[in-house]
Structure 1
Amino acid sequence: MGQQEKVATSLAGAVGEEISASLAPVDAELARRYPGDPGTRQPVHTVYVPGDAFTADTVRSWGEQALAALDEHAPDAASFAAVLGLADDLAEPVHSRVRAKLEREPIEDLRVDFEDGYGPRPDAEEDATAARAARLIAEAYAKGTAAPYMGIRMKCMEAPVRARGIRTLDIFLTGLMAAGGLPDGLVLTLPKVTYPEQVTAFARLLAAFEKAHGLDAGRLGFEIQIETSQAILATDGTATVARMIQAAEGRATGLHYGTFDYSACLGVSAAYQASDHPAADHAKAVMQVAAAGTGVRVSDGSTNVLPVGPTEQVHAAWRLHYGLTRRALARAYYQGWDMHPGHVPTRYAAVFAFYREGFEQAAARLARYANRTAGDVMDEPATAKALSGYLLRGLDCGALDLAEVAERTGLTRAGLEGFAAPRRGDLTALAQ
């Protein structure tokens, strides 16, 4: 073993203790503000359906319409791959998984819309629609036909529509409680936020509902939609969105980019309003940095080019949507919006191709890291976290199967989760 080294130190133990005591407030602040990713499933998309159009069979209907679009415009793996430019080895796996997904789980996250997609209605009509949404969602969860995540987008907290938005939310949540309680997959979306105070007001509103029904504090969380320039940059030059996360008092779960409202706010002409516009890239980059480490997830927006009409037109819309989705995934925006059943096939095709084409390399790198085996890339704990997170997202959406991941990595799902979501300060320990 060789000569045993003599170890000597110069600092008294009290020095380290004093340093730790001085940093205790910082330690607490880090833990509070940056708890890390929650480790739960993130849906790959959110589908918005106007309140009056939402029915008991909306989820199934979207799947059927998406399958019908495939049957009409790309009936087999080769034709679908040709439209999207998929590699030969991905054509069959992606096509078969897309069809299976559309049959099994066509929508991962559905939002019944009472804002732009619904518009102003007589109060009695919106009251009834909100109550109906609660009943249908409760029934869907009870029957096992719900999407994994479901909820509503109410009107915003601005003065002209504030009372209406609060009432719709109250009716909806009260209806869920009366039907048996809040489902685990419940998601609420607050649109058109411009000031952190609006976020705090909404958080206090949810706290009041929890108190009224004896729910645990913090049971209700919500997404913040970023649709105005003021939500990105405040008048004093600070990043408003970062302040919004803190203003949510621990209830913020997501930041969703609103492509068209935000673009219009900046004066972008309608023909150029898109999720890959430089203005959109800037906004989402600020959102991404503000949310990093907080446990709040970022979602991309949507395209308004619908895959309808003759086959040539549908193919063009599919290629656009597929390309935008792949672009977002490469930029670590793992969720987006879909506005039409025809968007769903290319959403899943893009997601599945993204995870399957990188699967072998990611699995091999993680296996080498876990087994402390040398390879052609020297990975660090943070990279192992990213690799395992990549594989877990692929598993959650159906792009990958647990058996093939376990075979390539030698890890169980629990093992993957251990690398993907270590406690703060444990990244280095995982490398030991």
Structure 2
Amino acid sequence: MRTSLDGSLLASVARRLSAVDAARSARYPGDAGGRQPVHTCYIPADQVTGDLPQRWGQAALAALAEYAPGPHAFTQVLGLPAELAEPVHEKVVAKLRREPVEDLRMDFEDGYGPRSDADEDADAVRCAGLTPTLAVPWAGLRFKSFESFERGVRTLDLFLTQLPEIPAGLVLTFPKVTAVEQVTALVELLELIEDRLDLPAGRLRFEIQIETTQSVVDATGRFAIPGFITAGRGRVSGLHFGTYDYTAACGLSASEQHLGHPACDFARHVMQVSAAGTGVRLSDGSTNVLPVGDRDAVHAAWRTHFGYTLRSLTHGFHQGWDMHPAQLVTRYAANYAFYLGNAAADAKRLRAYVDKVEAGVLDEPATAQALAMSMRRAMDCGALSAADVEELCGLSEAGLGRLVRRESL
């Protein structure tokens, strides 16, 4: 039977679309896979010691024992559902003992401030030597922005050159990016360093901090982040939101500079749509309301941090900044409450999808992927074990991975 469309014409169109599909696949490879830390702890470089993660964990446990001793007190402070009180409290304590810090950033920028060249050189070399001893999954530095170009590059170069070896979890944070040309320049510098250190091409990757209005919308009125990712040539690993520089740049008064402001929501949504599908991961910013002082002050700060962390998770930001040891308490509490609170419902939908059972909700592969990713994140942060997931939804860790990659079971 003849059709109205010529075969050669269809083949020509298909070839053009194949090129489009290939370009899209290269630009949007999907999630990078593997674990993502739930937080980044920023520490002024001169305060970093080899035992800092352990000291932060001990300080967090001490704060928990003093200000919320036991599951009942913990529940009263944070307003947890009664059924989550014991499991969340138990998991927080275990996490603070086992792995209190997941990602540590040695800060040579705002948290460090201006120092003499001799002092900053010495701290860069010292931090490089300490990096292998920190015993955290991820560690690295935030060097000065290119507003202080020579100093920032010198610190970065010294740190990388003096590392005993390049750890698997090395992270570099590039602050206050305002133009594509800055990203291009950093890529060129990292290529030179890789060549000098005999590293594989592309080994050195970096996060971009989104903390200026120009890093959200450029001078032409276009979203800036897609250009940054392109200029990074595969080296951009994450986007980190900077709450206070960004809100100040927007002209907000001090009392309105917080993570819950609509101006922050706009910036985060731009980050989200710009990075979606690229494999570039997102991190929310920090709150400067620290859990220090008397009992009431600590409780109020914990509620603020807990609330903002939950808000980030519901917005699809699975990582954030922590600036004080006692914030570890509410960082992990919020993650465990979020994942444990959703686990049963998510697992029911996932099991129904896999078993092709009517469950009152018609889920598609993209939703099944999101449900599987949520289960995987719950495992990564310690909210659920692989055995818990298999009991809940009947999927092994390998099966979960196949759904995350949208592969057939």
| Residue 167, structure 1, aligned to residue 154, structure 2 | yes
Match for residue 201 of structure 2? 217
Match for residue 192 of structure 1? 176
Q: Which amino acid aligns with 1:292?
A: A
Aligned mates of 2:33, 2:184 — CA distance in 1? 25
Aligned-residue RMSD, C-alpha: 1.5
1:359-401 Cα shifts (integer Å, max 9, x gaps) = 0111111111112222111100000000000000000000111
Shift of 1:28: 2.1
| Residue 74, structure 1, aligned to residue 76, structure 2 | no
Aligned mates of 2:13, 2:233 — CA distance in 1? 29
Match for residue 307 of structure 2? 323
Match for residue 410 of structure 1? 394
Shift of 1:14: 4.3
Aligned mates of 2:9, 2:287 — CA distance in 1? 58
| Residue 236, structure 1, aligned to residue 220, structure 2 | yes
Percent identical pairs in the alignment equals 54
Aligned mates of 1:408, 1:303 — CA distance in 2? 35
Q: 1:282 to 1:138 in 2, by over 3 A?
A: same
Match for residue 359 of structure 2? 375
Question: 1:105-144 to 2 correspondence within 5 Å?
Answer: 105-140=99-134
Q: Which amino acid aligns with 2:110?
A: D
| Residue 103, structure 1, aligned to residue 87, structure 2 | no
Q: Which amino acid aligns with 1:307?
A: P
Match for residue 153 of structure 1? 142
Q: How many residues align?
A: 409
Aligned mates of 1:8, 1:314 — CA distance in 2? 77
Match for residue 190 of structure 2? 206
Q: Of the candidates 88, 105, 108, which is equivalent to residue 94 of structure 1?
A: 88
1:230-269 Cα shifts (integer Å, max 9, x gaps) = 1111111100122111111111011111000011111111
1:100-144 Cα shifts (integer Å, max 9, x gaps) = 00000101111000000111111111111011111111233xxxx
Aligned mates of 1:107, 1:360 — CA distance in 2? 28
Aligned mates of 1:157, 1:421 — CA distance in 2? 38
SS where residue 106 of structure 1 aligns? Answer: coil
Aligned mates of 1:9, 1:392 — CA distance in 2? 48
Q: Does structure 2 retain, via aligned residues, the 8 Å contact 1:156–1:190? A: yes
Q: Does structure 2 retain, via aligned residues, the 8 Å contact 1:39–1:417? A: no
Aligned mates of 1:139, 1:388 — CA distance in 2? 34
Aligned mates of 1:14, 1:383 — CA distance in 2? 38
Match for residue 340 of structure 1? 324
Shift of 1:11: 5.4
Aligned mates of 1:138, 1:8 — CA distance in 2? 69
- The alignment's TM-score, normalised by the length of structure 1, stands at 0.92
Aligned mates of 1:415, 1:10 — CA distance in 2? 45
Match for residue 270 of structure 2? 286
Aligned mates of 1:69, 1:266 — CA distance in 2? 35
SS where residue 20 of structure 1 aligns? Answer: helix
Aligned mates of 1:99, 1:240 — CA distance in 2? 41
Aligned mates of 2:167, 2:304 — CA distance in 1? 35
Aligned mates of 1:196, 1:410 — CA distance in 2? 46
SS where residue 234 of structure 1 aligns? Answer: coil
Shift of 1:322: 0.5
Q: Does structure 2 retain, via aligned residues, the 8 Å contact 1:406–1:412? A: yes
Q: Does structure 2 retain, via aligned residues, the 8 Å contact 1:367–1:409? A: yes
1:189-217 Cα shifts (integer Å, max 9, x gaps) = 00000001101111111111111122111
Shift of 1:8: 9.3
Aligned mates of 2:2, 2:319 — CA distance in 1? 53
- The alignment's TM-score, normalised by the length of structure 2, stands at 0.97
Aligned mates of 2:289, 2:250 — CA distance in 1? 21
Q: Does structure 2 retain, via aligned residues, the 8 Å contact 1:300–1:336? A: yes
